[in-house]
Structure 1
Amino acid sequence: MTTARRDAVRQVLAGCEGFRSAQDIYADLRADGSKIGLTTVYRALQALSDAGEVDVLRTDEGEAVYRACRTEQHHHHLVCRDCGRTVEVEGPAVERWADAIAAEHGFADITHTVEVFGTCADCAGRRS
């Protein structure tokens, strides 16, 4: 895949606050006149994910959604269920727990993903 296509996907993600599906990214690119194919978008997202440039999470429906990383450090996310606003957070207590539980069971080279979903203050305020 050409770097130009990967850069186009990277640029769409850079302009987004929350997580976006591959189909959303594809639609944005096509709306801007790109001739990129959906398969190419998926390949670009996989390459960007493998390089640590994008965060990936699964929605409650099982769909993979993507977001440009704002930091290169290991982090977790607070995600608003209503508007998709996402905040990157550190979780030292989670890191200690993961290390301890892995050691307790004889596991090494562990990884983990923790996402916290809720309603942001703006959306909660609109409900009142």
Structure 2
Amino acid sequence: MTTTRRDAVRQALADREGFRSAQDIYADLRADGSKIGLTTVYRALQALSDAGEVDVLRTDDGEAVYRACRSEEHHHHLVCRECGRTVEVAGPAVESWADAIGAEHGFVEITHTVEVFGTCGECVARRS
């Protein structure tokens, strides 16, 4: 894959807030006149994820969604189920727990992904 296509996907993520599906990114790129294919978008997203440039999470229905990573430090996400607002959060207790549970079972080189879903205060206020 050429760097130009990866750059196009990187820019598409930077241009929008929040998490977006590969299909959404693909549709935006095509609407802007790009000839990029959906498979290339998926490959670019995987490469950007491997490089730590994008955050990836699974929605409640199992779909992978992506956004430009805002932090170079290891972090987790608090995600509003209604509007998709996302807050990056540190999780020292999660880090300790993951290491301890791994050690308890004889595992090393522990990695993990944690996303916490809820409803943000603004969405709750809109309901009233």
Length-normalised TM-score, structure 2: 0.96
1:17/1:86 contact within 8 Å kept? no
Unpaired segments ≥5 residues, structure 2? none
- Fraction of identical pairs, as percent: 87
Q: Cα offset for 1:57? A: 1.1
Aligned to 2:64: 64
The match for 2:95 is 95
Deviations 1:45-66 (A, max 9, x none): 0110111111111112211111
Unaligned runs of 5+ in 1: none
* Alpha-carbon shift at residue 15 of structure 1 (Å): 2.0
Matched, 1:74 2:74: yes
Partners of 1:26 and 1:34 in 2: how far apart? Answer: 9
The TM-score normalised by the length of structure 1 is: 0.96
User: Counterparts of 1:12-91 in structure 2 under 5 Å?
Assistant: 12-91=12-91
| Amino acid aligned to 2:95 | E
Query: What is the CA distance between 1:16 and its match in structure 2?
Result: 2.1
Helix, strand or coil: the match of 1:33? Answer: coil
3-state SS of paired residue (1:9): helix
Partner of 2:116: 116
SS for the counterpart of 2:82 is coil
What secondary structure sits across from 1:57 in the alignment?
A: strand
Give the whole-Å Cα distance in 2 for the aligned partners of 1:112 and 1:32: 36
Q: Tell me if structure 2 keeps the 8 A contact 1:54–1:67.
A: yes
CA displacement at 1:40 relative to structure 2: 0.8
Amino acid at match of 2:53: E
* In 2: Cα distance, 1:21 partner to 1:91 partner: 25
Q: How many residues align?
A: 128
